[in-house]
Structure 1
Amino acid sequence: RQAGFGAPRYLEAERLAPFKPRSLDIDVIMDLMIHDLDLTLLLTGAEPVDVRAVGVAAVTDKADMATAWMTLNNGTVANLAASRVVREPARRMRIFWQDRYASVDFLNNTLHIYHRGAGTVPGIPGVRDEVVDLPKRDALAAEIEDFLNAIVAHRPVFCDGIAGRRVLAAALQVRVAVEAFLQH
């Protein structure tokens, strides 16, 4: 969480990937959406209290695309979409606070933060844009390195078992809502 920003009021994320014949034993929620659920819980420090979701089994017998709308216990609303059956990949998140907005493009490693105040953004009066280039790195390799450091060097992991359990519980809530939608 960013110090001084407080919990976001609203956030939205999309994680879209072309079809690959891997991980077909799980749905798109556990395959892709779980990462944005993890970020949502990390950024808000809150838990889902109302979860609504829809999904479609477009190619496999499990949900290949899903959208979830969640209200968290701190009032944040999150809208998350994931698909593993699109032509062009996308991994974006937009986070809205009372007086600022952040847009992250995980594929291009860019972060734009738009602040209210004396502005320079064309077409949006009173808003300034701060651009942050994020370091390019392989997220999966970083996760494995973090895990190995925890074992070998006895260092704490970034995402511990408690956080993993919280995000799994949220993913299961989304899955239940998607499965109920698919039953109709």
Structure 2
Amino acid sequence: MSDAYSPIPELNQLKEFQDSLGGQFFAPGFELMKYNKGLDWFCGDAPDAYLDRLIPFAYATHSGSYYALWRCDDRTDLATLPVIFFGDEGDLWVEASNLRELFQSLALEPDDPEDRARLASSRQRYLVWLQQNFGLAPLGNSDDVDGENLASYTQRFAVWVSEFASDDLLDDVLSALGVDIPTP
């Protein structure tokens, strides 16, 4: 059995980097968690075939929000799957089209001046790591994100949730995503 953190090389590299920081954060609230630890609370009584399509891998905030990969199709390169943000207060959105885009967004300078000061050294190390390992720089602004692609994934995610969600959960998801799904 492999000692790798996950079956995704990009996440394994990030885990090695995170471990090299000795407990320091490089982005506010971001921390890899146990890979694919389960999402029973989000999906309620959904069949395993649905639960297996969400792969949690990181905390997104200090308060319990997290990121999960969404198996929106049967592609084999899991690093190319969209990343869904699940907020601890009901927030929900498609954060990135793939892991590398998430990595770039994690490299953005924090808004909070205290976070900027506290994370300065580890963030600089992350920027070097990101460039050396993937040839990537932080996202410059919202124009660097493929908004059409995120919107498409958002709509597809809402339709997917409608396949198994209770009416209450579906209403919450549609409200959080800010979308409607077509009715027949």
TM-score, reference length from structure 1: 0.25
Write 1 or 2 for the structure with the bigger share of strand.
1
Greater helix proportion = 2
Structure of higher CA gyration radius: 1
